[in-house]
């Protein structure tokens, strides 16, 4: 079991207990901080891009999403975050690969209609079990 806390900041934290991770930020944190914390989890706390010599989880590239809050170029609006070429919250291709192959990534999100079908089937089973039990 490990507890990993980002920097010594009190307004942002990512935590892992074994393989279960969580991230939370205070509303006083920079507007890209939650994405930064989730990126730590998805990259397994290895930045993989312009790695800081003293901290393997943070990048020395201020444009990178995983640069520490002290040097990161923080966008003032979400619209400033764009595809490659942006100066804000960039994710290097090697980081994209790590995130997509993370144990926390899923290749597919279930479609809403399959969730409805599954729920309907479960409700029918419950209905029939209750009806059978009531008939006894
Ligand atoms: Zn961080």
Best CA proximity match to 45, nearest among 102, 83, 90, 107: 102
Per-residue pLDDT of the chain (136 residues), as tens digits, is 445 555 545 666 777 777 788 887 888 888 888 899 999 999 999 999 999 999 999 999 999 999 998 999 999 988 888 776 688 999 999 999 999 999 888 777 777 777 788 888 888 888 888 888 887 7
State in Å: Cα 126 to ligand 1 middle: 46
Global confidence as pTM: 0.69
Ligand 1 centroid to Cα of residue 54, in Å, is 13
DSSP conformation class of 16 = E
pLDDT digits (tens, 9 = 90+) for 36-61: 999 999 999 999 999 999 999 999 99
> Cα(58) to centroid of ligand 1, in Å?
6
Q: Ligand 1 centroid vs 63 CA: distance in angstroms?
A: 14
pLDDT at 62: 95
For residue 9, the CA-to-ligand 1 centroid distance in Å is: 9
């Amino acid at each position: 079991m490990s507890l990993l806390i980002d920097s010594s900041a009190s307004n942002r934290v990512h935590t892992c207990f074994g393989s279960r991770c969580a991230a939370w930020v205070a509303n006083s944190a920079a507007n890209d901080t939650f994405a930064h914390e989730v990126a730590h989890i998805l990259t397994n706390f290895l930045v993989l891009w312009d790695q800081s010599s003293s901290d393997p989880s943070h990048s020395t590239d201020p444009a990178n999403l995983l640069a520490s809050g002290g040097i990161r170029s923080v966008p003032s609006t979400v619209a400033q975050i764009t595809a490659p070429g942006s100066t804000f919250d960039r994710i290097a291709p090697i980081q994209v690969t790590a995130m997509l192959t993370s144990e926390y990534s899923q290749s597919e999100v279930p479609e809403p209609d399959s969730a409805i079908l599954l729920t309907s089937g479960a409700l029918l089973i419950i209905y029939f079990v209750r009806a059978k039990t009531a008939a006894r």
